């Protein structure tokens, strides 16, 4: 009998296929004491080596199928295998307690996980706990000689059902055969959900009971709608037909969007706006070009620093920047100088422990303090400017003096390079992120000194609403359409335009259809989002008459009181379906 479930829609698309239960093997073991210490340590080493080989393969596969940025998680796993604190503690445990390797691994891993999970408000640490759990499972399987499920071997069309999918499982999914996946736990921002979106596999997560229902149903089909979050276990013929039609409609819509790839973004009344993409590494260029983005509005350079075991050299940075500038073939590339700190750590750049790192020593604050790091990055950027159309922006600017200082350092490096005969571009734009309320309020003053603004809503909302962007318990305060946020945004746009400067947005909100209806009405010039959202937003903008949304934007900041008011308001003006 058909069972209907509702979960969290995590990745768009609709599919019906045979159920494939991804069951984890039994990893239970007997604890032994009085073990041969040297033998247990060498068993551990052997399991670590096998795990490393396996992870290298999974990482290479993931880089191919889902992209370098997403595959980073496996680099983190490989690093755990070589982490002297973690591995050293396991070996010490074997020595101290004369335990078998399985018991020592399990004890130490549980200690680490408990410590990280206790830091409840820290997403970064919670992710580390998940990583350690994933790595421990792999090492344990090698110690026990059992095989972990290998979803990359699936060779028929299936819908995967699992309690949860570890990142290493998701990375092995082959799009050709895995038509969708459904999990019992997880949320929209879980690793597995983010990966599903990169892979473009429909997914519904957090269904609670999908695996137990499927297990008792036996060999059945599963219907999944990743747009609405609906899942049916053992659907009727009529339901299958209904889901198959929804799937066809969705594919057709995507094909329609794809036709817009080479068009520029012109509204129904003939106004042009720039749709740009956010990237993390040069490898992301492929997606930017495939989705017809008109520029890169945010190149997050942190990955250059995070992927390296020491500060990246000027030449290494230059190569990366040049590759992106050349790849964009004259279209603008806005590179953000490093935004380390907050929840982004570099093992080789020890920062002081802080009670409240999001309000602490991060981004431009580090760059102005550790100028050797900043100047190296600026020189690499200035040298690369010769190969395309470069914009540079500084993150987390709070005061006009910070901007002026950063700009002066840029100018010194520029003048020196130019005097030395290095080929450079003479029209590099130097702008700033507006992501701290102080700079949004004082935008009229900043607009006199910056060449452009890019509004970072991820942080601007966090700081304006005093709500940690990674904390589930306050996620209801993450309100991009709240009139308080919109008034700040409007002030930034108007202030920039008064000085003849352009203004973009590169936070997640820029790829949100509801937000974009309001932003068009406010006259925002550039919208920078994940590459996979570009065509959908272009299709929306082509339908909009901007004279209509000007009135909408005005009402959104004068009449509306709440975030919800503005959702309803936009729906009154624009048919979003």
Ligand X SMILES: C=C(OP(=O)(O)O)C(=O)O
Contacts of 146 by beta carbon, 8 Å cutoff, 6+ apart: 25, 26, 27
435 binds ligand X (CB under 6 A): yes
**363 or 535: CB nearest Mg ion:** 363
Task: Indicate whether 291 belongs to the interface with ligand X (CB under 6 A).
Answer: no
Distance CA 10, CA 517 (A): 23
- Could you tell me which stretch among 68-76, 113-121, 386-394, 450-458 binds ligand X (CB under 6 A)? 450-458
Distance CA 528, CA 223 (A): 34
List, in sequence order, the alpha helices (H) in 172-313. Answer: 191-199, 210-217, 237-258, 285-290, 302-306
Q: What tokens does 448 get?
A: 């006199």
Say whether 412 counts as a known binding-site residue: no
Nearer to ligand X, 11 or 457 (CB): 457
Cβ at position 433, least distance to ligand X in Å: 7
**Which strand (E) or helix (H) includes residue 382?**
helix 371-384
Q: Is 506 designated active site? A: yes
413 in a labelled binding site = no
What residue 506 binds from Mg ion, ligand X, none (CB within 5 to 8 A, per partner kind)?
ligand X
Task: Tell me which residue of 275, 304, 293, 303 sits closest to 329, measured CA to CA.
Answer: 293
Single out the residue of 366, 36, 6, 27 nearest to residue 182, CA to CA: 6
Give contact residues for Mg ion (rule: CB under 5 A): 435, 456, 459
Stretch of 185-193, 453-461, 483-491, 541-549 contacting ligand X, by CB under 6 A: 453-461
Considering only residues 476 to 535 of the shown chain, the ones binding ligand X according to CB under 6 A are 506-507
Q: Does 439 bind ligand X (CB under 6 A)?
A: no
Q: Give, for 392, the enclosing helix (H) or strand (E).
A: strand 389-394
**Does 383 show up as a binding residue in the annotation?**
no
Catalytic residue among 191, 272, 345, 517: 191
Whole-angstrom CA distances from 341 to 354, 360, 370 are 10, 8, 13
For 407, how many CA atoms within 13 A lie in the half-sphere containing its CB? 19
300 or 322: CB nearest Mg ion: 300
Q: Which of residues 327-356 bind ligand X (CB under 6 A)?
A: 339
Distance in Å, CB of 509 to ligand X, minimum? 8
Q: Which of 18-26, 225-233, 456-464, 488-496 is the region at the interface with ligand X (rule: CB under 6 A)?
A: 456-464
Asked if residue 554 belongs to a known ligand binding site, the reply is: no
Least gap, CB of 271 to Mg ion (angstroms): 28
- Nearest CB to ligand X, comparing residues 58 and 275: 275
Examine residue 40 and tell whether it contacts ligand X (CB under 6 A): no
Q: How far is the CB of 429 from Mg ion (least distance, A)?
A: 19
Tell me which of 77, 142, 506, 517 is the catalytic residue: 506
Please tell me whether 123 is known to bind a ligand.
no
**Contact between 362 and ligand X (CB under 6 A)?**
no
* Binding segment (CB under 6 A) for ligand X, from list 15-23, 52-60, 185-193, 457-465: 457-465
CB of 462 to ligand X, least distance (A): 8
| In the complex, least distance from residue 300 CB atom to ligand X, rounded to whole angstroms | 5
Q: Nearest distance from residue 492's CB to ligand X, in Å?
A: 13
Q: Which of 170, 457, 563, 566 binds ligand X (CB under 6 A)?
A: 457
Contact pick of 456, 504, 511, 521 for ligand X (by CB under 6 A):
456
Is 77 annotated as catalytic? no
Instruction: Write the CB contacts of 88 (distance below 8 Å, at least 6 apart in sequence).
Output: none
Instruction: Please state, in angstroms and rounded to a whole number, the distance separating the CA atoms of residues 28 and 437.
Output: 52
Judged by beta carbon, residue 311 or residue 338, the one nearer Mg ion is 338
Return d(Cα 192, Cα 519) in angstroms, integer: 31
- Measure the CA–CA gap between 492 and 435, rounded to whole angstroms: 11
Burial of 216 (0-12, 13-18, 19+ CB in 10 A): exposed
Binding test (CB under 6 A) with ligand X, winner from 399, 458, 471, 532: 458
Q: List the strands of the sheet with 203-205, edge to edge.
A: 3-6, 230-233, 221-225, 14-21, 158-162, 178-183, 203-205, 8-11
Q: CB-wise, 137 or 345, nearer to ligand X?
A: 345
Instruction: Tell me how far, at minimum, the Cβ of 205 lies from ligand X, in Å.
Output: 22
Of 205 and 363, nearer to Mg ion (C-beta) is 363
* 326 annotated ligand-binding residue: no
Q: Which of 63, 284, 413, 459 binds ligand X (CB under 6 A)?
A: 459
Number of CB atoms found within 10 A of residue 38's CB: 10
Q: Out of Mg ion, ligand X, none, which partner does residue 457 contact, by CB within 5 to 8 A per kind?
A: ligand X
Interface with ligand X (CB under 6 A), residue total: 10
CB closer to ligand X, 300 vs 379: 300
Q: Which stretch binds ligand X (CB under 6 A): 351-359, 423-431, 441-449, 452-460?
A: 452-460
Decide which of Mg ion, ligand X, none touches 507; Cβ closer than 5 to 8 Å per partner kind.
Answer: ligand X
Closest CA to 521 of 559, 562, 552, 563: 552
CB neighbours (10 Å) of residue 178? 25
CB 433 to Mg ion: min, Å: 6
The partner in contact with residue 43, picked from Mg ion, ligand X, none with C-beta cut-offs of 5 to 8 angstroms by kind, is none
Pairwise CA distance, residues 259 & 128, whole Å: 41
What is the dihedral angle through the alpha carbons of 479, 448, 424, 280, rounded to the nearest 10 degrees? -10
Round to whole Å and give the CA distance between 492 and 241.
Answer: 50
Q: Does 284 bind ligand X (CB under 6 A)?
A: no
Cα separation, 488 vs 478, in Å, equals 15
Q: How many CA atoms lie within 13 A of 224 on its CB side?
A: 32
CA pair distance 234, 3, nearest whole angstrom: 7
> Which residues lie closer than 8 Å to 300 by C-beta, 6 or more apart?
278, 279, 280, 336, 339
The candidate with the shortest Cα–Cα distance to 480, out of 509, 507, 518, 455, is 509
Which tokens hold the place of 482?
């709240």
| Site for ligand X, rule CB under 6 A | 298, 300, 339, 435, 456-459, 506-507
Binding site, annotated residues: 300, 336, 435, 458-459, 469
- Kindly list the catalytic residues: 191, 506
Binding site, annotated residues for Mg(2+): 435, 459
Binding site, annotated residues for phosphoenolpyruvate: 300, 336, 458-459, 469
């Amino acid at each position: 009998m058909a069972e209907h479930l509702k979960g969290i829609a995590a990745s768009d698309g609709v599919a019906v296929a045979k159920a494939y239960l991804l069951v984890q093997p039994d990893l239970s073991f007997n604890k032994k004491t009085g073990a041969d210490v040297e033998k247990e340590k060498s068993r551990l080493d052997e399991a670590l080596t096998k795990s490393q080989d396996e992870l290298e393969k999974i990482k290479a596969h993931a880089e191919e199928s889902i992209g370098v940025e997403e595959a980073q998680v496996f680099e983190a796993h490989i690093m755990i295998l070589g982490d002297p604190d973690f591995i050293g503690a396991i070996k010490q445990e074997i020595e101290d307690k004369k335990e078998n390797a399985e018991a020592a691994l399990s004890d130490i891993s549980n200690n680490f996980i408990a410590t990280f999970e206790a830091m409840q408000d820290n997403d970064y640490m919670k992710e580390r706990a998940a990583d350690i759990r994933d790595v421990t499972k792999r090492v344990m399987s090698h110690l026990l000689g059992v095989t972990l499920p290998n979803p990359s071997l699936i060779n028929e069309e299936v819908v995967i059902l699992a309690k949860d999918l570890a990142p290493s499982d998701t990375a092995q999914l082959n799009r050709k055969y895995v038509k969708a996946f459904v999990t019992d736990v997880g949320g929209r921002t879980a690793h597995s959900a983010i990966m599903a979106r990169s892979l473009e596999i429909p997914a519904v997560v957090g269904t609670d009971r999908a695996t137990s229902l499927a297990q008792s149903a036996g060999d059945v089909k599963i219907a999944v709608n990743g747009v609405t979050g609906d899942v049916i276990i053992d659907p009727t013929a009529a339901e299958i037909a209904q889901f198959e039609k929804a799937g066809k409609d969705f594919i057709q819509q995507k094909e329609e969007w794809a036709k817009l790839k080479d068009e520029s973004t012109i509204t129904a009344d003939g106004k042009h706006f720039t749709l740009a993409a956010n990237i993390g590494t040069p490898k992301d260029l492929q997606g930017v070009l495939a989705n017809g983005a008109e520029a890169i509005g945010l190149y997050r350079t942190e990955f250059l620093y995070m992927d390296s075991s020491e500060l990246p050299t000027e030449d290494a940075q230059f190569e990366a920047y040049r590759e992106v500038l050349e790849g964009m073939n004259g279209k603008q590339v806005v590179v953000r100088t490093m935004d380390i700190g907050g929840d982004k750590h570099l093992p080789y750049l020890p920062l002081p422990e802080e009670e409240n790192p999001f309000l602490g020593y991060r981004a431009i604050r580090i760059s102005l303090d550790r100028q050797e790091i900043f100047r190296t990055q600026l020189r690499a950027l200035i040298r690369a400017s010769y190969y395309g159309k470069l914009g540079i922006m500084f993150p987390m600017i709070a005061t006009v003096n910070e901007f002026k200082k950063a700009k002066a350092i840029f100018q010194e490096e520029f003048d020196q390079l130019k005097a030395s005969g290095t080929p450079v571009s003479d029209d590099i734009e130097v702008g700033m992120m507006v992501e701290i309320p102080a700079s949004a309020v004082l935008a009229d003053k900043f607009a006199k000194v910056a060449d452009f603004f890019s509004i970072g809503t991820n942080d601007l909302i966090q700081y304006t609403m005093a709500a940690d962007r990674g904390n589930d318990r306050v996620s209801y305060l993450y309100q991009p359409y709240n009139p308080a946020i919109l008034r700040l945004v409007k002030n930034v746009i108007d202030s920039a335009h008064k000085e003849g400067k352009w203004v973009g947005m590169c936070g997640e909100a820029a790829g949100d259809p509801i937000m974009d209806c309001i932003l068009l009405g406010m006259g925002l010039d550039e919208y920078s989002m994940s590459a996979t959202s570009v065509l959908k937003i272009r299709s929306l903008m082509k339908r909009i008459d901007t004279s209509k949304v000007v009135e909408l934007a005005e009402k959104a900041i004068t009449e509306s009181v709440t975030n919800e008011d503005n959702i309803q308001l936009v729906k009154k003006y624009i048919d979003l379906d």
